[in-house]
Amino acid sequence: MRDVYDILVNFKKYPYEFYEWEKEDDIIHIKKIPAVKTDDKTLFDIMNYQTKMKDEILSDVEYKTEVFKSHRVIKVKYSFIIYNDDIALALLLDDDGVVIKKSRLLFDEEDDVIKRGFSLDALKIKYEVTSFETSNLKCTRKENKIIDLLLKYVNNIYNNENEDELKYVYFECFDKEEKSAKNAYDNLISSIMNADFNIINKLKNLVKVLKK
């Protein structure tokens, strides 16, 4: 483990590439943050899935990250960078060690982290995958916003037991009837989560009509 200095991060649910960052984002200027080189599988899992860190890494990084904020420096309880020979990923964790937000780095800062740690051995980070729900990294930021909105819409009509509307939406998206509201819900949610843009675009256009 080593420290990285003077970098920018943009903590979000999805770790967007720096060119998708927006002016309205709360970009954080980090003064100092620990960085840990790890193996490819660990980085892949943490980047793509919902994960929780074990106690060992938490004690190693506790209050080691310093952030510039309002002309002063504050310490963050659990935050650090993981990287391999290709990618560097900043993480923000809650008090239980759950990774709640992630950030890619600016190109030159990521390149510097990787190059400086290239000769180091990868450390074993103990963690568990709590959900294999993907982070939709293959989608753009705009597409992920649409996905989140459609998930909320489908969840809302299902939770409010609007079975007729749910079955109608299913028919319009899949061009076939489904008698079970639960099956209709499961298939819609699965299609949205798997970024099936044939279904997503149909549902998006349908929502526009229904909400008029």
**The predicted structure's pLDDT at residue 136:** 62
- Give the angle subtended at the CA of 168 by the CAs of 166 and 174, to the nearest 5°: 100
Residue 5 tokens read as 């200095």
- pLDDT of amino acid 108: 95
Helix (H) or strand (E) holding 127: strand 127-131
Structural tokens at position 165: 């509307």
What pLDDT is attached to residue 135? 58
- Domain ranges, ordered by start, for the chain: 2-131, 141-210
pLDDT at 14: 86
CA–CA distance, 15 with 21 (Å, rounded to integer): 10
**CA separation for the pair 160, 150 (Å, rounded):** 15
pLDDT in the model for residue 134:
65
> Per residue of the chain (212 residues), what is the pLDDT tens digit?
899 999 999 999 889 889 989 989 999 999 999 999 999 999 999 998 899 998 889 999 999 999 999 889 999 999 999 999 999 999 999 999 999 999 999 999 999 999 999 888 899 999 999 987 765 667 788 888 899 899 999 999 999 889 999 999 999 999 999 999 999 999 999 999 888 999 999 999 998 887 76
Distance CA 87, CA 104 (A): 8
Name residue 52's beta-bridge partners: 98, 128
Distance of alpha carbon 48 from alpha carbon 82, whole angstroms: 13
Strand-strand pairing, 28-37 and 79-83 = parallel
Closest CA to 127 of 95, 102, 94, 97: 97
